[in-house]
């Protein structure tokens, strides 16, 4: 039994498919299968039931998985304790929403590169629902997502909160003394698509205010939302840092409202059976640099 065989088993057991596990290890599927077969031969027991459409862990495989994860973690700790530099290497896959990418993600990357220069970081920006699925399937090592963990295999460590404000162009804002249900009956809501944590915050506000917008204009990026608002196409909710920058430049106006907007909680989401130091390093980088209300470099 070797560490490479255990590593192959760990990724095959936690990824959505052997093909994805092979990608994470930079192996061909046949090479991965060979390592798994060698490990099964060394242990004298099958670790996967390959009879169905997708290979599933046998009882022996389920018993081995936490032990393999622990052994791999200890091997990495030994390498860091004894090896030169005591830094992490390898490829880290981090998912994040657009808000984190616009505000503090660059600082998190700088924090990681200063401490682990040999680590190769790959960042994926997407909406929370997609990121959670990809973390669960081991396409991503972790992700910054709003709300609590939405899947039973994931855990979430609280990171921070983001504040939001209602905004509109100066022309639209001039006709709105206070944003209420009557105002929304005359105006379009410009918003991110369903699946974003922000839509839950928005829906909660609408329910409390008893409001229903005249129409909804959905777009997938904060920059597009801000551009549509500036063009007078409707009213929308923007992150505080983005809104403040645009208000100070005279591009948008903040709107007073009958109901206050809640803040949105964000967390560091990861597979709870993943004890690798790489994940811990990603988590620490996020904790050290998080600031969702920070002004971005472009607004």
pLDDT of residue 281: 94
- For the segment 142-189, what is each residue's pLDDT rounded down to a tens digit? 999 998 888 888 999 999 999 999 999 999 999 899 999 999 999 999
pLDDT of residue 295: 77
- The rounded distance, in Å, linking the Cα atoms of 122 and 110 is 13
**Beta bridge partners of residue 49, listed in sequence order:** 56
pLDDT of residue 185: 93
Q: Find the radius of gyration of the CA atoms of the chain.
A: 23
Least confident of 83-92, 112-121, 134-143, 276-285: 83-92
What's the whole-number mean pLDDT along residues 110-123? 94
Least confident of 36-40, 82-86, 92-96: 82-86
If DSSP states are collapsed to H, E and C, what string results for 90-158? EEEEEEECHHHHHHCHHHHHHHHHHHCCCEEEEEEECCHHHHHHHHHCCCCCEEEEECCCCCCCEEEEE
pLDDT of residue 170: 94
- For the segment 239-275, what is each residue's pLDDT rounded down to a tens digit? 999 999 999 999 999 999 988 888 999 999 999 888 8
In the chain the domains, ranked by start, together with CATH numbers, are 3-82 (1.10.10.10), 87-160+265-289 (3.40.190.10), 164-262 (3.40.190.10)
What's the whole-number mean pLDDT along residues 8-16? 88
């Amino acid at each position: 039994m070797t560490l490479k065989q255990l590593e192959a088993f760990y990724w095959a057991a936690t990824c959505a498919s052997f093909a994805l596990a092979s990608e994470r290890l930079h192996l061909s599927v046949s090479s991965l299968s060979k390592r798994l077969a060698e490990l099964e031969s060394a242990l004298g027991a099958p670790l996967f039931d390959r009879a169905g459409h997708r290979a599933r862990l046998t009882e022996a495989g389920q018993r081995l998985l936490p032990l393999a994860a622990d052994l791999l973690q200890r091997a990495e700790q030994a390498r860091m304790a004894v090896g030169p530099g005591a830094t992490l290497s390898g490829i880290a896959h981090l998912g994040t929403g657009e808000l984190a990418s616009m505000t503090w993600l660059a600082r998190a990357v700088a924090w990681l590169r200063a401490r682990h220069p040999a680590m190769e970081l790959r960042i994926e920006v997407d909406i929370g629902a997609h990121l959670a699925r990809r973390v669960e399937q081991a396409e991503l090592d972790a992700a910054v997502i709003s709300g609590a963990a939405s899947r039973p295999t994931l855990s979430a460590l609280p990171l921070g909160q983001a504040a939001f404000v209602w905004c509109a162009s100066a022309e639209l804002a001039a006709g709105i003394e206070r944003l209420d249900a009557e105002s929304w009956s005359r105006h379009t809501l410009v918003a991110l698509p369903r699946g974003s944590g922000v839509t839950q915050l928005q829906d909660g506000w609408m329910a409390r205010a008893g409001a229903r917008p005249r129409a909804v204009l959905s777009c997938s990026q904060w920059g597009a939302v801000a551009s549509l608002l500036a063009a007078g196409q409707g009213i929308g909710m923007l992150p505080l840092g983005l809104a403040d920058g645009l208000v100070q430049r005279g591009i948008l106006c903040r709107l007073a409202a009958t109901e206050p907007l809640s803040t949105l909680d964000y967390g560091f989401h990861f597979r709870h059976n993943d004890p690798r130091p790489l994940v811990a390093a990603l988590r620490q980088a996020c904790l050290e640099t998080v600031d969702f209300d920070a002004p971005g470099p472009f607004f």
